Amino acid sequence: MKLLPIEYATRNLGRSPSRLILTVFGSSLVVLLIMIAAGFMVGMDATLNVSGSDKNIMLLGAGSLESVERSEVKMESSGIVSSSIKGYKTKAGVEGVSPEVHIQIPIDIQGEDRLVLIRGVEPEAFLVHERVEIEYGSLPRAGHNELLVGSLATRTLGYGKPKDALGKTILLDDDSYAITGVMVACGGIIEGEIWAPLSDLLVTTQRDTLSCIVVAIDEESGGTRSQLDGFAASRVDLELAAISEREYYAALAEFYKPIQLMVVMTCLMIAIGGLLGGFNSTYAAFASRVREVGTLQTLGYTRSAITFSLIQESILTASTGAIIASTIALVAIDGYTIRFSMGTFTLLITTEIVTLGIASGLALGVIGAIAPVIRCLRLPIPQSLRASE
Amino acid sequence: MTLIKCKQITKHYYRGSEQITPLKGLDLEIQRGSFVALMGPSGSGKTTLLNLLAGIDTVSEGELIIDNEQIHNFSKNKLASWRADHIGYIFQLYNLVPVLTAYENVEIPLLLHSINRNERHERVSDALENVGIADRYNHYPRQLSGGQEQRVAIARAIVSNPTILLADEPTGDLDRETGTAIMDLLKSLQEKQGQTIVMVTHDPQTTKWADTVLHLEKGQLIEQEVRS
Amino acid sequence: MKHLTLLITLSLLVSCRGNEEQSQQKTTNKETLPSHFFTTERPVDVKDLVDVKMNAKAGDEVTFLARIGGRKHGSFVPTLAMMIVADPNLLSCELMACDDHCDTPEDYCCEDPKVLTQGLGTIRFMKNQTDTYPFSVEGLGGMEVLKYVVVAGKVHDINANGLFIVDAKKIWVGGAPAYGDNRAGSGE
Ligand SMILES: Nc1ncnc2c1ncn2[C@@H]1O[C@H](COP(=O)(O)OP(=O)(O)OP(=O)(O)O)[C@@H](O)[C@H]1O
Ligand SMILES: [Mg+2]
């Protein structure tokens, strides 16, 4: 099959700049929204998936399995847990039983109250949550109102770069705290949190209960999940229930499903608008070329060759849109943080998503060309030659 | 020598259930190297006949033999490549591709042949030279006048050395002076290169360049006048 | 907007159905307790759990009436022969017809947590002096949440905060009560 020169396709793009802009805009909108929806899902899943470990069992208030922030655990439970169960991690005298308080506190950021999850922790927390690492600065000292801030939380707090947070002070319930360190946790949900020494946070919030006790079981020394289930069931006086971190975050992910669905549906609906707009202008761009296509056929070009050229043209437009969308996605969307009451998520534009975006751009090009191609080639040549321009 | 032979050609169209027959049992022979003018009232079937000769339409009944090939038996794809090899078509409204320059418009038919770039360049330049528009090779159709556009269109039609040059009212949209120049150009192609030309025209004046004038009426040949 | 609401409702329905399937699967169990744990003859004149718990000490032999349940999830421990029972006077969700805001019928979320804790007990089925059987007893001998049981056994541990662990020797399994008839199935 002899094909039309590529210049025919590229020059045709410039034929009607306003239509071209409309089509490129439409396809970039569609591709961008596809990428945002995918990035949102990937980002949220990534955060929730890396957050939960099977080896970390959370002991929560018996009635609050679904929300650690509503959970209340008696202060003395922590000691009872570490003395009555065996088989948890220990390291240099630190036991893998981490008493924690999880609490949402509104923090005033440039006049706007933003809810941030604050976790009150003891040194045990760093053994239990082994992925937490100090990226900048140092650990907060108990009794000094110092804070460790997750790298994502630094954005929530309005610092341009995570490092900028060091040395800054913020108010928690009228108590002033200084940021001494920034932590990372392999992209886990902890990166959206702020950690404070447990005792300081209890004083600030005037609380006398824990939210949970996280036990890092050590299977090698006989630690089991069922031991903790048994402990929770036999110590009814402590009003505890056991759930693995993984299960907890899986349930949280389940809770976010409708939100995910809503985001995806919203993106989809706007995308359909863009799609129809794009298709419409592609159609209009081709519709006026019936006679020209008839002429090319008269010269000896086959219908397949012409179809190929028209699809080429449509793909060029759509993939230009896809490239614009990918650029916007990588520059402006990647890493964009979204805050929900239960955590901060990042929109992640991965290579897979860029590939998806480009692929959908190409698909849009092909699909968008179908109707106009049919329109241009439907008529027998003599009739298309009689078509008005 | 007979180049084109129409045997009992009939063409039907269907508009809903209504059958239209612009050509009814037409018999015709056209000699190689002749310049034929097709005359006749509107709706007499001139364009229909020209389209059949061009291989962009197919006969309903009868046989159409061009250069010893039975065109009426060809498939759509075979017809397409046959057109590329044998037909040059000149339209009343030029039908140049607006996004391509004069040069590129003329080059388009050559891309259907396996010719290298250099030879292509030579042939496009020759064709443009031939129609007297070589200096405008870099212009886009919108930058040309009607007469110039038609010259480019003629260059496009002759660039692949077609067996037949077909023209549907080539001067219909031009003023008399420009029309005359175009007719002179066609005549010179016939005279210098022995090009066979079949041209539809409404204008009795233009028939003076032709050596054969065919009169069609209601789909039938009613008069054939050969001038020497 | 209508569509969105509809979709969200649909997805919620789907996720609810997912939960039901999960809890149904739990009842399949191959391992079983020795038959000496079960009896079909209900002891007569048994006291309710709280009345026994009030005066018990570790090592006492006790017999009391209770209902299986007390936690909205995990009244049966998934991998141990251990379950939580509640005093018959405590009202579980299904007896209060307040299911809308309860996750499971065996939830006692409408009770004061302090009162609830005082009314709960842990029943263990011991393989020997130190070990509990290593499987769930849910479904064994008809034991299911909400059903009445009469437990005879020995107090393993008890404290004033509500701890009450009883190692079962014999257990009678009755039926489940219904809304408006709180003692149905208790065998009284
Ligand atoms: N595709 C078609 N479908 C239906 N009817 C057609 C078709 N093409 C041509 N006709 C009819 O066939 C008849 C002859 O048409 P044709 O175009 O050949 O006339 P013509 O001699 O070229 O006329 P004109 O001088 O006006 O160009 C006309 O009645 C026309 O309406
Ligand atoms: Mg005509």
DSSP codes of every residue in A21-82: HHHHHHHHHHHHHHHHHHHHHHHHHHHHHHH--SSEEEEEETT-TT-TTT--EETTHHHHHH
Q: What pLDDT was estimated at residue C1?
A: 38
Q: What pLDDT was estimated at residue A366?
A: 93
| Side chain identity, residue A301 | Y
- Cα→Cα distances C162→A5, A228, C53, Å: 86, 18, 9
Q: What pLDDT was estimated at residue B151?
A: 93
The gap between the terminal CA atoms of chain B, to the nearest Å, is 16
Ranking A91-95, B42-46, C5-9, C131-135 by mean pLDDT, the lowest is: C5-9
Q: What is the pLDDT of residues A247-290, one digit of tens each?
A: 898 888 888 888 888 888 998 898 888 888 888 888 888 888 89
Residue A369, classed as helix, strand or coil, is helix
Q: What pLDDT was estimated at residue B1?
A: 85
Does residue B45 have its Cβ closer than 6 Å to ligand 1?
A: yes
Contact A99, A198 (CB under 8 A): yes
The mean of the pLDDT values for chain C is: 82
Does residue B13 have its Cβ closer than 6 Å to ligand 1?
A: yes
A340 and A223 fall within a common domain: no
Contact C72, C87 (CB under 8 A): no
Decide if A228 is inside a domain: yes
Structure pTM? 0.69
A89 and A217 fall within a common domain: yes
Identify the CATH number of the domain defined by range B2-226.
Answer: 3.40.50.300
Residues C46, C62: Cα–Cα separation, whole Å: 10
Residue B117, classed as helix, strand or coil, is helix
Q: What pLDDT was estimated at residue C30?
A: 65
Q: Which of B11, B21, B46, B216 to mutate to test the pocket of ligand 1 (most atoms within 8 A of CB)?
A: B46
Q: What pLDDT was estimated at residue C94?
A: 77
Ligand nearest to the CA of B39: 1
Does residue A386 have its Cβ closer than 6 Å to ligand 1?
A: no
Residue C83 C-alpha from the chain's centroid: 6
Q: What pLDDT was estimated at residue C98?
A: 62
Q: What is the pLDDT of residues A193-240, one digit of tens each?
A: 999 999 999 999 999 999 999 999 998 888 888 889 999 999 999 999
Report, as an integer, the average pLDDT of C72-97: 88
- CA triplet C142, C145, C148: central angle to 5 degrees? 70
Pairing mode of beta strands C148-158, C164-173: antiparallel
- Chains meeting B at 3+ CB pairs closer than 8 A? A
| Side chain identity, residue B27 | D
Give all domains of chain C, ordered by start, each with its CATH number: 2-11+37-173 (2.40.50)
Decide if A324 is inside a domain: yes
Ligand nearest to the CA of B49: 1
Handedness of CA A21, A22, A24, A30 (dihedral sign): positive
Task: Tell whether A300 is within 8 A of chain B (Cβ).
Answer: yes
Pairing mode of beta strands C164-173, C38-39: parallel
Q: Using CA coordinates, name the residue in chain A closest to C72.
A: A63
Does residue B179 have its Cβ closer than 6 Å to ligand 1?
A: no
Pairing mode of beta strands B69-70, A343-346: unpaired
User: For residue C169, is pLDDT > 90?
Assistant: yes
Query: CB under 8 Å to B88, separation ≥6 — which residues?
Result: B156, B157, B158, B159, B160, B162, B164, B165, B166
Residues A326, B107: Cα–Cα separation, whole Å: 37
Q: What is the pLDDT of residues A144-187, one digit of tens each?
A: 999 999 988 887 788 878 899 999 999 998 899 999 999 999 88
User: Can you say whether residue A129 is alpha, beta or left, with left for phi > 0 and alpha for psi between -120 and 50 degrees?
Assistant: beta
Place B66 in a pLDDT band, splitting at 50, 70 and 90: very high
The residues pairing with C142 across neighbouring beta strands, listed in sequence order, are none
Contacts of C79 in chain A (CB under 8 A): 224-226, 229
Report, as an integer, the average pLDDT of A297-321: 93
**Cβ neighbours around A59 below 10 Å, total:** 27
Contact B199, B36 (CB under 8 A): yes
Of A238, A273, A304, the residue at which a domain comes to its end is A238
A19 and A76 fall within a common domain: no
From atom 9 of ligand 1, which residue's Cα is the shortest distance away? B48
Q: What pLDDT was estimated at residue C15?
A: 37
Written as six digits, the tokens of A44 are 């949220």
A309 and A368 fall within a common domain: yes
Residue B24, classed as helix, strand or coil, is strand
Written as six digits, the tokens of B67 are 């250069």
- Chains meeting A at 3+ CB pairs closer than 8 A? B, C
Q: Do chains C and A touch (3 or more CB pairs under 8 A)?
A: yes
Task: Tell whether C113 is within 8 A of chain A (Cβ).
Answer: yes
B/e letters for C79-115, b = 16+ CB within 10 Å, e = fewer, are: bbbbbbbbbbebebbbbeeeeeebebebbbbebeeee
- Cα→Cα distances C187→A29, A39, A302, C44, C120, Å: 69, 59, 90, 9, 20
Written as six digits, the tokens of A217 are 């079981």
Q: What pLDDT was estimated at residue C110?
A: 80
Contact B80, A297 (CB under 8 A): yes
Residue B191, classed as helix, strand or coil, is helix
- CA triplet A291, A293, A298: central angle to 5 degrees? 95
Report, as an integer, the average pLDDT of B78-98: 94
From atom 17 of ligand 1, which residue's Cα is the shortest distance away? B47
Contacts of A240 in chain C (CB under 8 A): none
Q: What ipTM describes this predicted complex?
A: 0.94
From atom 3 of ligand 1, which residue's Cα is the shortest distance away? B13
Decide if A245 is inside a domain: no
Q: Which of B11, B19, B47 to mutate to test the pocket of ligand 1 (most atoms within 8 A of CB)?
A: B47
The mean of the pLDDT values for chain B is: 93
pLDDT over 90 percentage in chain C: 56
Q: What is the pLDDT of residues B17-38, one digit of tens each?
A: 999 999 999 999 999 999 999 9
C87 Cα to the center of ligand 2, angstroms: 101
Query: What residues does each domain of chain B span?
Result: 2-226
User: For residue B163, is pLDDT > 70?
Assistant: yes
Give the E-state strand segments of B47-94 in sequence order: 61-66, 69-70, 87-90
User: For residue A74, is pLDDT > 80?
Assistant: yes
Q: What is the pLDDT of residues A8-45, one digit of tens each?
A: 888 888 888 888 998 899 999 999 999 998 888 888 87
- Cα→Cα distances C15→A46, A143, A190, C19, C56, Å: 21, 45, 26, 7, 44
B/e letters for C14-53, b = 16+ CB within 10 Å, e = fewer, are: eeeeeeeeeeeeeeeeeeebeeebbbeebeeebebbbebb
| Side chain identity, residue A285 | A
- Cα→Cα distances A310→A282, A329, B56, Å: 10, 28, 21
Report, as an integer, the average pLDDT of C62-91: 92
The residues pairing with B26 across neighbouring beta strands, listed in sequence order, are B9
User: For residue C24, is pLDDT > 70?
Assistant: no
Residue A249, classed as helix, strand or coil, is helix
Place C22 in a pLDDT band, splitting at 50, 70 and 90: very low
Residues C166, C151: Cα–Cα separation, whole Å: 9
Q: Which helix (H) or strand (E) holds A94?
A: strand A94-95
Residues A27, A40: Cα–Cα separation, whole Å: 20
Does residue B117 have its Cβ closer than 6 Å to ligand 1?
A: no
Residue B161, classed as helix, strand or coil, is coil
Place C62 in a pLDDT band, splitting at 50, 70 and 90: very high
Residues A68, A385: Cα–Cα separation, whole Å: 73
Q: By residue range, what is the domain housing residue A153?
A: 63-238
How many domains does one find in chain A?
A: 2
Q: According to DSSP H, which parts of B159-209 are helical?
A: 176-193
DSSP for residue A378: S
User: For residue C187, is pLDDT > 50?
Assistant: yes
More confident residue, B85 or A157: B85
Does residue B46 have its Cβ closer than 6 Å to ligand 1?
A: yes
Helix, strand and coil content of chain C, in percent to the nearest 5, comes to 25, 25, 45
Q: Which of B11, B48, B57, B166 to mutate to test the pocket of ligand 1 (most atoms within 8 A of CB)?
A: B48
A101 and A168 fall within a common domain: yes
Place C19 in a pLDDT band, splitting at 50, 70 and 90: very low
Phi, psi of B224 (to 5 degrees): -130, 115
Written as six digits, the tokens of A101 are 């308080």
Place A64 in a pLDDT band, splitting at 50, 70 and 90: confident
User: Can you say whether residue C69 is alpha, beta or left, with left for phi > 0 and alpha for psi between -120 and 50 degrees?
Assistant: left
In chain C, what's the furthest Cα-to-Cα distance?
64
A132 and A201 fall within a common domain: yes
Contact A153, A170 (CB under 8 A): no
Which atom, in ligand 1's list, is nearest to the CA of B200? 22
Decide if A336 is inside a domain: yes
Cβ–Cβ gap B91/A295 under 8 Å = yes
Cβ–Cβ gap A237/C7 under 8 Å = no
Q: What is the DSSP string of C19-76?
A: HHHHHHHHT-------GGGEESSPPSSPEEHHHHHHH--TT-EEEEEEEE--SSS-SB
The residues pairing with B9 across neighbouring beta strands, listed in sequence order, are B26
